Amino acid sequence: MLKVLLKKDFRRLAKDPLSLLFLLALPLVITLIARSVFSPSAAAQFTVPLAVVDQDNTPLSEFITSTLSNEKMASLFEVRNIPLKEAKQELHDNELAGIFVIPKGFTDQFVNQKPAALKLTTNPSRVISTGILQSTFEILTNLLDGIRELFPEQIAVLSQKNTLDMETVFELGRSAMDKILKEKDLLKFPVTFEKEKGRKKESGSPQNGIILAFLPGIAFMSILFVLSAVFKRQSEELENGMINRILVSPATLNQLLSATLLYSLAMVFLIQIVLWLISIPLFHLQIFHGFLLLKGIVYMSLLATLLNAVLYSLPMKLRTIEAFSSIVIITVCLLSGLLVSPLIMPGGLREMVSSSPFYAPVEIITRAFTGGNFPLITSSDAIFTGSILILLFLSLLLFRSKINRHRAGTV
Amino acid sequence: MIEVKGLSKRFGDIHAVREISFSVKEGEIFGFLGPNGAGKTTSIHMMCGLLTPDSGTIIINGKELRPNSTALRREIGFVPQETALYPELSAVENLRFWGGLYGLKGDKLNQRIDEVLHLVELSSRAHDRVETYSGGMQKRVNLAAGILHNPGLIFMDEPTAGVDPQGRFAILNIVRELAASGKAIIYTTHYMDEAQKLCDRIAVMDFGEILGMGSFEQLRDQVGKGFQIFAKGDFDGPKLAHQLKNDFKGEILHSGRGLLAVVVADAAELGRFVAAMKAHGVNADDLKIKETDLETVFLKLTGRELRD
Ligand SMILES: Nc1ncnc2c1ncn2[C@@H]1O[C@H](COP(=O)(O)OP(=O)(O)OP(=O)(O)O)[C@@H](O)[C@H]1O
Ligand SMILES: [Mg+2]
């Protein structure tokens, strides 16, 4: 019976390829708009609040900290030079995305070819900024490593000076240049170095950070639209007598609802596959955790199905529900961080959005792309999926009783 | 085939069906005749198991119809009042779906589809989308979908509504063929002539009640063979009826303000009635005269015309 019902649904879908195309085009168009709007120049408006704590106070550490606040970097980081204690408090209050510490003795270790470490503390509630910070500092440490490897003499000069004046910098640059020109191998090395690191750099670039802040939300929105179309059609069939005719046959209401649910989920996955298959090469996204992506998609699908099942079970006329559902969809898009990323929301709203269940799948998917050490499965997963499945079941019962009420003539 | 006893249904304050009882045999066409809102669709929905009756029993093939009698549903064919088909699918695809719901598949399903499409004379358009069909053609596919699984009992809710005379003729012939092959058919309509020509027995229905039931001849016997005269004009119906009482032999069916309906047995009485009316200042132009038929019965039973 399920097979017969589902076959009919897919045949109808295939018969109306334009509507299918439209459903698929919707997320794509939004994605393309997002790509053109968030060009690298637009990305400049997005800054990561970062505290820089220099405990070393040497010319090198000064050089590094000033690099972070120079003109080019200013478009990416909003640097604050504050004491560590204050910075920690601000991070806790979600005012900062990260704290960068140059520990005492760093320069000494660096110039004397000893293992040297910089410290980066990131804010776990700011997933995208964390991704940006991590990849930026990865580049920075790679760069410092490379400099130490290639220019030992120049580094030695650095260690003897107490201050770094213009003349010294110029002198260092000139001798480094001489070295590059004399030793051809050296020239090759940085080129291949660039190439190898190219992909990784790109995935963490601020542009993709922005795109990533929006892509999962777009995915969520497209799911909401598709599901609302499916549930709307079901309600139309209820009003125009199609469901009555099905229910005169040996098919039961439970079978009909199961088929609707399966069809909805199939549609959702279809949309997801198309969206991500196109987005990943389009935005040069790099998936760090395929599992997290899948988990986020499953969460989104469940939430969206739940939302629609509840909406269309409301004891209202179809037209009223449709009007109401657009309000709900926009609200949910806001709460999922789609319309405005929570990163740039004012304090109170940001917290509300970050803690809304609709933001959860968006965050999970973002993590799948930004990498980092996140647990793939958390203890709250069971609670989340469990409660959504229970609610979904309850809302399907609600939808079922609406159909029954309709048949009994009380709607 | 089907036996209905004391079936009732209310929707809030509306008493849609009141205590209706009847039975229909194999090969019989049983008609529900009534105006809009009479309760025809509500009755059919209860008999199909779509609506739960407030009271009463429905027995099909000796078994009582209950909300979860899935097996019994195979015995029932349902042709709904509104065309319930998927417009973007072709006739064949629609029928494949409806047949599939009844467990038909493979060659058997294809063979049945060919048969019913041939019966409703749509074989040539079988693969076109239903949305490209005319209203009458859609009604015929709608009918085909209801009889595909070869049910013994078929409910047809106004299958000819909105269909032109030729189309209606075709549908009536299909219904006759189905009855001839032994199916019990319950047919609703508000076309009087259709009920008269097609149905073996007719239940005249209004405001949820069956007011009279029987073959056309039996029903007409309630008013007798003769003429029905319907007068409309600027007069006081009841007063005029009282004044005319001794001027002709006939039955006064109904009278009201500016309205008088009578039945007379023959042409001679008809002449006397017309003359008497003229004497009271009512013009012959204001009289509608025709042979007695179901409409006369309906007028007598309900006091109103079928299509008012
Ligand atoms: N679902 C419902 N809820 C409330 N009232 C209803 C419902 N269905 C029917 N009714 C009422 O019950 C009465 C009978 O309606 P029904 O549809 O059975 O009439 P019908 O004889 O089929 O009329 P038509 O010729 O217009 O199809 C009407 O007064 C109608 O308003
Ligand atoms: Mg009706």
Q: Given this model, what pLDDT does residue A125 score? A: 67
Instruction: For residue A214, name the pLDDT band (cuts at 50, 70, 90).
Output: low
Between B55 and B225, where is the model more confident?
Answer: B55
* Percentage of residues in chain B having pLDDT higher than 90: 55
Cβ(A296)–Cβ(A43) under 8 Å?
A: no
Q: Report CA(A262)–ligand 2 centroid distance (Å).
A: 34
Mean pLDDT of A234-239: 83
**Highest mean pLDDT range out of A56-65, A82-91, A170-179?**
A82-91
Label the pairing between strands A98-102 and A48-54.
Answer: parallel
Rounded Cα–Cα distance for residues A25 and B204 (Å): 56
Under 8 Å CB-to-CB from B76, ≥6 apart: which residues? A248, B48, B49, B60, B151, B153, B154, B155
Is 90 exceeded by the pLDDT of residue A321? Answer: no
Are A246 and B101 within 8 A, CB to CB? yes
- Chains A–B, number of C-beta pairs less than 8 Å apart: 71
Are A247 and B50 within 8 A, CB to CB? yes
Query: Does A115 contact B at CB distance below 8 Å?
Result: no
Between A322 and B152, where is the model more confident?
Answer: B152
Is 60 exceeded by the pLDDT of residue A199? Answer: no
Rounded Cα–Cα distance for residues A132 and A201 (Å): 10
Nearest alpha-carbon partner for B57 in B16, B22, B10, B14: B22
Q: Could you give the ipTM of this predicted complex?
A: 0.85
Take atom 18 of ligand 1 and give the residue whose Cα is closest.
Answer: B39
Give the nearest ligand 1 atom to B81 CA. Answer: 27
Helix locations, B189-281, DSSP H: 192-198, 216-221, 237-244, 267-279
Is 50 exceeded by the pLDDT of residue A186? Answer: no
Max intra-chain CA distance, chain A = 93
Q: Report CA(B75)–ligand 1 centroid distance (Å).
A: 25
Instruction: For residue A25, name the pLDDT band (cuts at 50, 70, 90).
Output: confident
Q: Given this model, what pLDDT does residue A159 score? A: 67
Considering only alpha carbons, which residue of chain A is nearest residue B12? A410
Is 80 exceeded by the pLDDT of residue B88? Answer: yes
Between A410 and A318, where is the model more confident?
Answer: A318
Whether this model's pTM surpasses 0.80:
no
Q: Given this model, what pLDDT does residue A50 score? A: 87
Q: Given this model, what pLDDT does residue A107 score? A: 81
Q: Given this model, what pLDDT does residue A72 score? A: 66
Mean pLDDT of B9-27: 93
SS3 A3: helix
Give the nearest ligand 1 atom to B44 CA. Answer: 18
Q: Given this model, what pLDDT does residue A196 score? A: 29
Is 90 exceeded by the pLDDT of residue B56? Answer: yes
Instruction: For residue A191, name the pLDDT band (cuts at 50, 70, 90).
Output: very low
Considering only alpha carbons, which residue of chain A is nearest residue B44? A248
Considering only alpha carbons, which residue of chain B is nearest residue A244? B50
Q: Which residues of A touch B47 (CB under 8 A)?
A: none
Q: Report CA(B37)–ligand 1 centroid distance (Å).
A: 5
Is 70 exceeded by the pLDDT of residue A230? Answer: yes
Q: Report CA(B217)–ligand 2 centroid distance (Å).
A: 26
Label the pairing between strands B250-264 and B227-236.
Answer: antiparallel
* 3-state secondary structure labels for all residues of B70-99: HHHHCCEEEECCCCCCCCCCEHHHHHHHHH
Instruction: For residue A202, name the pLDDT band (cuts at 50, 70, 90).
Output: very low
* Percentage of residues in chain A having pLDDT higher than 70: 76
Q: Which residues of A touch B42 (CB under 8 A)?
A: 409
Q: Which residues of B touch A252 (CB under 8 A)?
A: 68, 70
Q: Which residues of B touch A16 (CB under 8 A)?
A: 88
- A245: nearest CB among B11, B80, B89: B80
Is 90 exceeded by the pLDDT of residue B133? Answer: yes
Are A8 and B82 within 8 A, CB to CB? no
Closest Cα of chain B to A257: distance in Å?
A: 15
Q: Given this model, what pLDDT does residue A298 score? A: 85
Is 90 exceeded by the pLDDT of residue A325? Answer: no
Instruction: For residue B124, name the pLDDT band (cuts at 50, 70, 90).
Output: very high
Take atom 27 of ligand 1 and give the residue whose Cα is closest.
Answer: B36
Instruction: List the 242-261 stretch of A: residues with Cβ below 8 A of B.
Output: 242, 244-252
Closest Cα of chain A to B71: distance in Å?
A: 7
Q: Name which of A13-27, A224-238, A380-394, B61-75 the model is least confident about.
A: A13-27
Between A25 and A298, where is the model more confident?
Answer: A298
- The set of protein residues with a Cβ atom below 6 angstroms from ligand 1 is A 409; B 11, 14, 16, 34, 36-42, 81, 190
Mean predicted lDDT score pLDDT of chain A: 75
Between B216 and A207, where is the model more confident?
Answer: B216
Q: Name which of A188-192, A346-350, B150-154, B169-173 the model is least confident about.
A: A188-192
Domains and CATH numbers, chain B: 2-220 (3.40.50.300), 226-291 (3.30.70)
Q: Given this model, what pLDDT does residue B241 score? A: 82
Q: Given this model, what pLDDT does residue A208 score? A: 55
| Test site for ligand 1: of B7, B9, B11, most ligand atoms within 8 A of the Cβ | B11
Closest Cα of chain B to A236: distance in Å?
A: 12
First CA to last CA distance, chain A: 28
